[in-house]
Amino acid sequence: MRFTCLASGSEGNCILIESMQNNKTERLLIDCGINLVNLEKRLAERSVTLKQIDGVVITHEHGDHCKGVVSVVKKIEIPVFMTYGTFLASSSFKRDLKPSFFSPHKKFNFLGFEIEPFPVPHDARETIAIIIKVGDCCLGVLTDTGMVTKHTLNVLKKVGALVIEFNYDENLLNQSKYPEALKKRISSNYGHLSNTSAFNLIRALESEYQKVIVAAHLSTNNNSESIVNSLLEKLSHESRVNTFIAGQSSGTPWIHVN
Ligand SMILES: [Zn+2]
Ligand SMILES: [Zn+2]
């Protein structure tokens, strides 16, 4: 299995996962928070066409995770998976989509992908984080969560690669010109993960499987790549993981999960 972030941040999030089994390549998108033009461009940069996408899983109804999904599905008629709560939260979904629903507590299979959603605290109707398994390869995607629950910690112990939100630096958020209410929302238990929370979560995993960390969903105003980089350097010194930062429009290169 390999994956690449096509976009990451408050302007849009989208991850492409590719599995190669029995001489067959299958492709799944996690979230589609960029428009069709951008999606096709970023796929082309990675030698993939829109028609080669087999399905898309939506984590929650915030625009930065789903604003492109209706136009994609209208163009190529692929299955869309989401929780029923996410579906109910969007008038556009109710008007334009016929999704397949999944429980946030139950694994399901789609083609060669085993998809394990789990609920996370965030200010949307029924937000999930997700683990994708192909054979023995296991990728976790945890963006948009206000806090790390015991359950999150437990389920992520088995992943070999983890895309995890490093949303904000506490000092930069405190000093920012954002209104107090917005600062509170971001840093609340239903908001986003700070750099420190993400760093502590990765350390707490103490996982023998963990080989790749991708820092994702960095805030443009309340974070900086150099701060995140210094944390990632510490992690790679301690446990020899490969680390990446996913850029808003540059995303990441292809990353293999073993
Ligand atoms: Zn988001
Ligand atoms: Zn969100």
> Is residue 102, in this structure, part of any structural domain at all?
yes
- Please compute the mean of the pLDDT values over residues 127-138 and round it to a whole number: 97
Mean pLDDT, the chain, integer: 96
Distance 10 CA to ligand 1 centre (A): 5
Distance 143 CA to ligand 1 centre (A): 7
Token pair 């986003």: residue:
192
The C-alpha atoms of residue 62 and residue 16 are separated, in whole angstroms, by 19
Distance 10 CA to ligand 2 centre (A): 8
pLDDT confidence of residue 169: 98
Q: Which residues neighbour 252 within 8 Å (Cβ) at sequence distance 6 or greater? A: 4, 5, 8, 214, 244, 245, 246
> Is residue 258, in this structure, part of any structural domain at all?
no
Q: Which ligand is nearest to the CA of 89?
A: 2
- Please compute the mean of the pLDDT values over residues 2-24 and round it to a whole number: 96
Domain range for 143 is: 2-250
Distance 172 CA to ligand 2 centre (A): 20
Straight-line distance from the first to the last Cα atom of the chain, in angstroms, rounded to the nearest whole number: 7
Distance 124 CA to ligand 2 centre (A): 7
Q: Which ligand is nearest to the CA of 65?
A: 1
pLDDT confidence of residue 21: 87
pLDDT confidence of residue 239: 83
> Is residue 257, in this structure, part of any structural domain at all?
no
pLDDT confidence of residue 202: 95
Distance 144 CA to ligand 1 centre (A): 5
Least confident piece of the model among 56-60, 65-69, 120-124, 206-210: 206-210
Q: For helices 36-44 and 69-76, what crossing angle results, to 10°?
A: 70
Distance 20 CA to ligand 2 centre (A): 30
> Is residue 103, in this structure, part of any structural domain at all?
yes
Distance 32 CA to ligand 2 centre (A): 13
Q: What amino acid occupies position 39? A: L
For a pLDDT cut of 70, what percent of the chain falls above it?
Answer: 100
Q: Evaluate if residue 86 carries a pLDDT over 90.
A: yes
CATH code assigned at 61: 3.60.15.10
Distance 62 CA to ligand 2 centre (A): 5
Tens digits of per-residue pLDDT, 203-243?
999 878 889 999 999 999 999 999 999 999 999 888 889 99
Sheet holding 2-7, edge to edge: 100-101, 80-82, 55-57, 24-30, 14-21, 2-7, 255-256
Q: Which ligand is nearest to the CA of 125?
A: 2
Q: Which ligand is nearest to the CA of 167?
A: 1
Distance 136 CA to ligand 2 centre (A): 30
pLDDT band at 258 (very low <50, low <70, confident <90, very high): confident
Stated as kind and residue range, the H or E segment containing 231 is helix 225-239
> Is residue 255, in this structure, part of any structural domain at all?
no
- Please compute the mean of the pLDDT values over residues 104-131 and round it to a whole number: 98
Question: How distant is the alpha carbon of residue 49 from its chain centre?
Answer: 21
Distance 254 CA to ligand 2 centre (A): 24
The C-alpha atoms of residue 112 and residue 138 are separated, in whole angstroms, by 13
Distance 15 CA to ligand 1 centre (A): 13
pLDDT confidence of residue 24: 94
> Is residue 170, in this structure, part of any structural domain at all?
yes
CA distances from 134 to 23, 99, 110, 178 (A): 14, 23, 11, 42
pLDDT band at 99 (very low <50, low <70, confident <90, very high): very high
Q: Evaluate if residue 133 carries a pLDDT over 90.
A: yes
Distance 23 CA to ligand 1 centre (A): 35
> Is residue 31, in this structure, part of any structural domain at all?
yes
Tens digits of per-residue pLDDT, 20-62?
988 999 999 999 999 999 999 999 999 999 999 999 999 999 9
Q: Evaluate if residue 75 carries a pLDDT over 90.
A: yes
pLDDT confidence of residue 208: 80
- Please compute the mean of the pLDDT values over residues 133-145 and round it to a whole number: 96
Token pair 């023995």: residue:
136
The C-alpha atoms of residue 126 and residue 124 are separated, in whole angstroms, by 6
* Structural domains counted in the chain: 1
Long-range contacts of residues 22-26, Cβ cutoff 8 Å, at least 24 apart: 24/112, 25/52, 26/54, 26/111, 26/112, 26/113
> Is residue 256, in this structure, part of any structural domain at all?
no
